[in-house]
């Protein structure tokens, strides 16, 4: 007799409601992500696989991340690299949040992307964003771009963690 039940019957994809945790929980989640990132990139000497690992782990652990990925800095435009989330803009101009972070070589935190002059909309659901430049030998080689569907999702905790913990892990692969 055939089993009339599918192996997937009753299984629904997990839906995570985005929320912004308090400072203590945010730090705990970042430490959890950092631990897993360190475990996964051990022995990985190439930048792109490290980027893929970082974007996957952060997107899956941090509940307010709706998109997490990288854009490589080319001469005339930025080219999408590894990412997690909805389909990305493949090429973007040096404008908007990513371009501003790259040109100024400084992290840009945007509480409301709809109020940012020149914002490039790749996902219409995005409401806030943080972009961190990845700088090697005083040149921006890429940016880490993180979006949230929530307004005011990013703060100094995010900025500090991404700048001080994540970017060095990526740069280890380029040295």
**Has residue 7 been placed in a domain?**
no
In a domain, 4, yes or no: no
Q: How crowded is the C-beta side of 60, counted as CA atoms within 13 Å?
A: 13
What pTM does this model have?
0.90
Give me the domain span that covers residue 162: 23-172
Domain count, the chain: 1
Tell me whether residue 36 is in a domain.
Answer: yes
Residue 100 lies in a domain: yes
The CATH number covering residue 60 comes to 3.30.450.40
Closest by alpha carbon to 56, among 46, 64, 44, 68?
Answer: 68
Distances (CA, A) of 61 to 67, 74, 160: 12, 30, 17
Report how far residue 6's alpha carbon sits from residue 141's, in angstroms, rounded to the nearest whole number.
48
In a domain, 121, yes or no: yes
> For every one of its 175 residues, what pLDDT tens digit does the chain have, with 9 covering 90 and above?
444 444 444 555 566 689 999 999 999 999 999 999 999 999 999 999 999 999 999 999 999 999 999 999 999 999 999 999 999 999 998 989 999 999 999 999 999 999 999 899 888 899 999 999 999 999 999 999 999 999 999 999 999 999 999 999 999 976 6
- Answer yes or no: is 146 within a domain: yes
DSSP annotation of 163 reads: I
Does residue 17 lie in a domain region? no
- Classify residue 12: in a domain, yes or no: no
């Amino acid at each position: 007799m055939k089993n009339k039940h599918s192996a997937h019957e009753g299984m629904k994809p997990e839906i995570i409601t985005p929320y912004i945790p308090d400072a203590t929980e945010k730090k705990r989640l970042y430490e959890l992500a950092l631990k897993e990132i360190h475990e996964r990139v051990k022995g990985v000497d190439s930048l792109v696989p490290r980027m893929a690992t970082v974007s996957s782990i952060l997107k899956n652990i941090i509940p307010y991340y709706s998109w997490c990925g990288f854009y490589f800095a080319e001469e005339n435009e930025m080219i999408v690299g590894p990412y997690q989330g909805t389909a990305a803009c493949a090429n973007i101009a040096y404008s908007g949040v990513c371009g501003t972070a790259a040109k100024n070589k400084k992290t840009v935190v945007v509480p409301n992307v709809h109020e940012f002059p020149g914002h490039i909309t790749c996902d219409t659901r995005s409401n806030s964003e943080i972009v961190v430049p990845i700088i090697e030998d005083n040149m921006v080689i890429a940016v880490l771009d993180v979006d949230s569907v929530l307004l005011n999702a990013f703060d100094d905790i995010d900025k500090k963690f991404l700048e001080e913990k994540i970017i060095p892990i990526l740069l280890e692969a380029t040295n």
